[in-house]
Structure formats: structure tokens, C-alpha cells
Structure 1
Amino acid sequence: MDEHFSEAVGRPDLIDLGGGLACLRFESMKVASAVAAVRHLLDTGAVRPGDTLVDSSSGMYAHGLALAAHRYGLHCHIIGSTTVDRTLRVQLAVLGATLEQMPPSDDLRLDQNRRVTRVREVIRDNPGFHWMRQYHDDIHALGYREAADMIARETGGEPLTLVGGVGTGVSTGALARFLRSKEPDTALVGVQPFGSVTFGGDGVEDRDIIIAGIGSSIPFGNVDHALYDTVHWTGFTAALAGSVDLLRRHAVFAGLSTGAAHLVARWEAGRNPGRRVVFLAPDTGHRYVESVFARHGEAAAIEDLAPREVLDPDDLELPWSRMEWQGAPPPSRAVHTDDLVASLDR
């Protein structure tokens, strides 16, 4: 029997979709990550009950951190993206977390830069707060070990390809590390939105929407580029098609980043019929009802879509591009330096 709601909501389901495709479906993926990170900090004495945890979030991590704080008797302060919706705002308030939300914006770079600036100010003015560093600290990878063990157990040693949004790197990256400790030939395919600096896609702008949580306008310290074999960049229209197809074909109601991962995973599965392809569904589709699912009539048939193959991120084009990354180092503008951490610690 679970002792806290965070255990139940953070536990994923692995759904066989047929044709070598499987969906690792979370209700809220970053709950497991945040809970494991906070438990580690308590176990090592870095934080104590009653302390305040602070971080920036586009939504899911805010929920996870609030649940972890509730579970372990801590306070939680979130610098929230413009994408945090009313449903989450109300939950945070009732859980006792405080939220500062950035003003409306459809610009990923502006939204994240505002949040980084505000985190810097909060840490400066409240030196006793503990900054969780979800964008930089590898302790957030600890929560994905159980999910990786489940994938390995359920797939029974089949050759694996893991597909999912890159984000901070501690979801797909951590899962790949744990899986490769059991199955060294596990392939890792990262999904990015256009406009994200992490793999050099910031030269192409997609004004339709921020695909929150899988891209970044700032360098992340816990993305290990050497782990990734292939990277796909998907625009809003391509991701919408993937989301609608996933619901229509398989009844899985999940967010926009899941739609992008589903689109990519089906394409990769078609190229590699001998491999089991598992893609991540990090959250439900509820906050995308109006912006995505109500527009299902606009969705292209995914069979009619294919990525543009590129050799360099400078050649990316909407609505979908693909590159064999092959463990290459990060673009220079995506390299995280200690100066950013130091500035946020001051």
C-alpha cells in the first residue's frame, strides 16, 4: 500500500501499442524525480524538515516539488512559467506551495530568462532557501531507476530504442543510462522543439506554441549530449498530429510533448523493425484540450509526415527535422558554465 499520493501519481504504466511500439505513460513524470531528489537531500543533510525549496518550472516539476515538500514537511516556492494553468495553480495553493508566475508570453526565451532572473533574486534575498537546480543537478535522475527497471523487465531483453523529450536531460538521459547498464545497445532518441538552444535548434522559430518542458533557451547543466544517438525537432503542427493520432488510434490522452514523441517513435520504429521502441508520455492531455485536441480536425495524417534529414542544426526546417547526433558534443551556445550556477547562488 502506498504511503503518500506522490508514490501513486509518480508510478508509470507501460502500454504495448503493437508493432514494436510501447508508451511509458506517466500521469506526472517529474513527481518521481522531485521526490527522489528531495529524499536524497534529506538523507544527506543538505536540507531539513521545515526548510524552503525553490525552483523554476513550466508546470510538471512544480507539481512534483510541491508533492515532495508536502510529503516530507518542507516549504515550496515556485517561479512558474506562463504555461502554468489554473488547475495547477489551485493545487499548489492548497498544497501550501507559493507560486510566482511570469506574465503571459509565447516566447520560450523570454519566459525562461524571466524565470532565471527571478530565481536569482529569490536566492539572493533568502539565503536560507534551497535552490533545487532541476536544470543543473543530476540528483533528479535518481527517481527514474524504477521506471528503467520496469522497462527492462517488461521488454525481456529485446533491443531497445528510447524516445522522449530532452528537457533537462534527467528523464530520457537517466532512463538511457539505467537501461544501458542492463542492455548496452539501447538507443536514445531525443525530441526537441524548434527554438531550443540545447541541440542548436534556436535558429528556427516556431511562433505557434511553446512545447513546455522539452526545450530550453538557456544552457542546461544536466544534459549529457554524448548519450543521444539521434535528435528530432518537431513544430506545433507535427506534434499536434502526433497527439491526435495517439488518442484516436490508441486512446492515450497525453500532452503535446507526448504527441511529438509518438510521431517520432512511430517513424523510428518503421526504420528499425527489429527493435522495441518505447516513448515517454510525461503528462496527461488536460491542459491541451483547447489548444490541441479541440483542433483535431486540423491534424494531418501522420503517415503523410516525414522529417527532413539534416547534417547540421543550421539546416533545420519546420515542421519536422531529424539529425543523427551520434553522441556529438553540445553546440557552443548550449554549454552550461559554472558562472550561471554561481550567479543564481548569489
Structure 2
Amino acid sequence: MNKTATFHEITEASLRPKLVRIEGNLYGAVFTLMKLVPARYILRRALERGDLAPETVITETTSGTFGLALAMQAALLNRRLVLVSDPVIDANLHRRLTDLGAAVEIVKEPAAEGGYQGSRLARLARLRAQLPSTFCPEQYTNPDNPASYTVIAEHLTASLGQVDCVVGPVGSGGSMCGTVRALRSATPHTRAIGVDTHRSMLFGQPDGPRQLRGLGNSLMPGNLDHAVFDEVHWCTAAAAYATTRWAHRRHALFQGPTSGAALLVARWWAAQNPDAVCVAMLPDEGYRYQDTVYDDTWLVQQGIDLMLPPEKPTELAHPTQEHSEWTWYPWQRRTLSDVLGRTTPAGRPR
């Protein structure tokens, strides 16, 4: 054994993405589990501040990979973790969470306002009131979430030099806002292209059922700084799934559907701007999706056709315009209230 080598816990060792060239000027930031970045940073900061005593229970609401990242870190810290989720959580993820020692509570019905996210937040508040000592990472509002992505911006700059454009899915707002703000401290021109999906309220659409999971939201997260974004794209599930499978066949990239959505948009933008360095944020590996996105039978059952998506998106006159295909809008680094001409659907101007 090399006694001079440095060894890390699995969460630290998996923190930075692998950077791969996909096509010409397009690079992929390929994460094993992107949510490890904020989960590890938030919990370490809580330890430093004294907010995470040995008897403190970590609590959070999640139906996806942030819960997995918390469960991994909580196991390493030997802390109890209780997660509040909803029926869309997949069985494989649920099994892994419980095997890591997390308790998972499932809310049964969506709230009248905010859907399942609203009912999850209400259950989380009741849970915290019942426990003597809790710490909630609050990924949607905790400024440590976007701050944690400074390390990713440093990694991109060290590896690629100047980054002209970052394309990535938007859910809590942490990864895109944190990464791009850190990059712009050196390169103010760096463009940010957010990828959302239909019936997500993040950029002005009315909230509703969403087939494409892992991005979008039913509530407005405090960490989403709309003025960071130059463009916003709305991607369909079919387009995201088709691009996810294309990336696996063509480039052996085994990632999830949010990565497919980001790649769809990034390929188009990079082709329009061949002299610019473009990075697509590819958040997590495809193992959770082997029974869904990577299963042709499941796709047929969902009515998904894997024909290649359109070569280019349709530009919208306004973000609230009704649409059901791959579309985009020139956001131009404006607040949501500036773009919509009114307060946000949550009642808060941003």
C-alpha cells in the first residue's frame, strides 16, 4: 500500500464529477450523485456550528436523490435520519434508504396548494415539533445549498479553463445558481441555461402533474435566483428519455432522465455556438431507472415513443404561454416578477 496516498470517505471521493467531451465544444459534468455536494456541505457546516449534536435527528422532505445523499452522509456521521416522501418514490430507492438506516415516512394525499410537496412540508413541520432536537437541511431555502457548488465551479475552471455556458436541470435552484454565480466571479459572461419541465411553476407555468421527475417543482424554492438565467427550456418526458437512451447507446453515458433533459438542450446550444465551451450538468447515474427509462416495455406502457426529439425548440412569446413540446424562452437574467409582470405564484416577488 502507498502510505503517502490520501484516502477519503465515499461521499468526498464521489463529490466531483467526471468531465467528458461529448461532441466538439460540448462537455458533460458526469456526477455519480450530484446531491452529495450540498448534502455533505450542509451537514458539515451544521456540525461546525454546533447544530448537529449526537442526539439531533436529521429530518428532510425529499422523493429523490437528495434523500439518498443525506442517508449516505448520515450513516457516516452515525446520526439518525427521518425523511418525509410521497408515493412517487421508487421502490429501489426506498430500499436503499432504509438499508442505510433512514426512516422514511410516506404522505398519502397531495395538499390543495403545493401538491405532494405541500403535504410533505406540513408533515415535516409536525414531525419536527414532536422531536426534542432536529436539524433540517432545508435544501430549498438553505444558502449553504448553492454555496456548496463553489467546489464544482472550481473543478470546471481548473479542468476546462473558461466556461462559456452551463446547462442544467432546475429543481431547488442550488446547483445551477451556485455553480454559475461562482463561475461569474471570474467570467461574468458565462451563460446559464435552466432546464425545466411542463406543469412546473418554477418559471411561470401553472403547477400540475409532471411525468418527468427530478426537476421542476410545485412550490417556489427560496434558493432559485431567476436573475441568474439567460435562457429557460421546458423539456418533455419523451424528449428527455429519448436523449437519455441516445447518450447510453452513443457515448456509454449511463445517467438518469434529468441528464437526458440537460443534454438535449446543451447539444442544441453548443451546435449554435461552436466557438463556446458548453458544459451540461448530468446529475446522477442510471441504476435507479433500469426498470423505467431503460426498460422498453415500461416506456410503451407509459405511451412514450423513443423517436429522436425535434432538432430545435420552439421559442415562446411569454413563459406562461401554453405549450406541450420542447420550448424555450430568452429569460435575460431577469427576476420572475420582471418577466411575468406580477408576483410569483407563491405570492412573493423575486
Q: Aligned partners of 2:86, 2:317: CA distance in 1, in Å?
A: 33
| TM alignment of 1:225-304, pairs within 5 A | 225-295=226-296, 298-302=305-309, 304=310
Secondary structure, in 3 states, of the residue corresponding to 1:313? coil
| TM alignment of 1:153-192, pairs within 5 A | 153-157=158-162, 159-192=163-196
| TM alignment of 1:92-107, pairs within 5 A | 92-103=97-108
Aligned position for 1:218: 219
**Does 2:205 correspond to 1:194?**
no
Q: Aligned partners of 2:26, 2:319: CA distance in 1, in Å?
A: 28
Q: Aligned partners of 1:305, 1:74: CA distance in 2, in Å?
A: 48
Deviations 1:273-300 (A, max 9, x none): 1111111111112222233222389312
Deviation of 1:22 (Å): 0.7
Deviations 1:290-331 (A, max 9, x none): 3322238931224x4321101311214112110000112125
Deviation of 1:227 (Å): 0.5
| TM alignment of 1:56-135, pairs within 5 A | 56-103=61-108, 109-126=114-131, 128-135=133-140
Q: Structure 1: which 5+ runs fail to align? A: 339-346
CA contact (8 A) 2:268 2:311 kept: no
Give the TM-score, by structure 2 length. 0.88
2:149 corresponds, among 144, 151, 160, to 144
> Which deviates more from structure 2 when the two are superposed, residues 81-90 or residues 181-190?
81-90
Deviations 1:150-179 (A, max 9, x none): 11111122x510000111111011110111
CA contact (8 A) 2:239 2:261 kept: yes
CA contact (8 A) 1:219 1:336 kept: no
The verdict on how the C-alpha distance between 1:104 and 1:85 changes in structure 2, with shifts beyond 3 A counting, is farther
Deviation of 1:181 (Å): 1.4
**Does 2:344 correspond to 1:333?**
yes
The structure where helix makes up a greater share of residues is: 1
Instruction: Report the AA paired with residue 52 of structure 1.
Output: V
Instruction: Report the AA paired with residue 146 of structure 2.
Output: A
Aligned position for 1:341: none
Aligned position for 2:3: none
CA contact (8 A) 2:81 2:102 kept: yes
Q: What is the root-mean-square deviation in Å for CA atoms of aligned residues?
A: 2.3
The verdict on how the C-alpha distance between 1:206 and 1:72 changes in structure 2, with shifts beyond 3 A counting, is closer
The verdict on how the C-alpha distance between 1:227 and 1:216 changes in structure 2, with shifts beyond 3 A counting, is same
Secondary structure, in 3 states, of the residue corresponding to 1:77? strand
Give the TM-score, by structure 1 length. 0.89
| Percent sequence identity over aligned pairs | 30
The verdict on how the C-alpha distance between 1:96 and 1:307 changes in structure 2, with shifts beyond 3 A counting, is same
Q: Aligned partners of 2:278, 2:220: CA distance in 1, in Å?
A: 28
Deviation of 1:182 (Å): 2.1
CA contact (8 A) 1:220 1:336 kept: no
Q: Aligned partners of 1:104, 1:76: CA distance in 2, in Å?
A: 23
2:55 corresponds, among 50, 69, 83, to 50
CA contact (8 A) 1:81 1:111 kept: yes
Aligned position for 1:344: none
Q: Aligned partners of 1:314, 1:57: CA distance in 2, in Å?
A: 27
Q: Aligned partners of 2:125, 2:87: CA distance in 1, in Å?
A: 18
Q: Aligned partners of 1:282, 1:336: CA distance in 2, in Å?
A: 30
Q: Aligned partners of 1:257, 1:127: CA distance in 2, in Å?
A: 37
2:312 corresponds, among 306, 311, 319, to 306
CA contact (8 A) 1:253 1:285 kept: yes
Q: Aligned partners of 1:294, 1:300: CA distance in 2, in Å?
A: 15
Q: Aligned partners of 1:278, 1:153: CA distance in 2, in Å?
A: 13
Secondary structure, in 3 states, of the residue corresponding to 1:171? helix
Secondary structure, in 3 states, of the residue corresponding to 2:206? helix
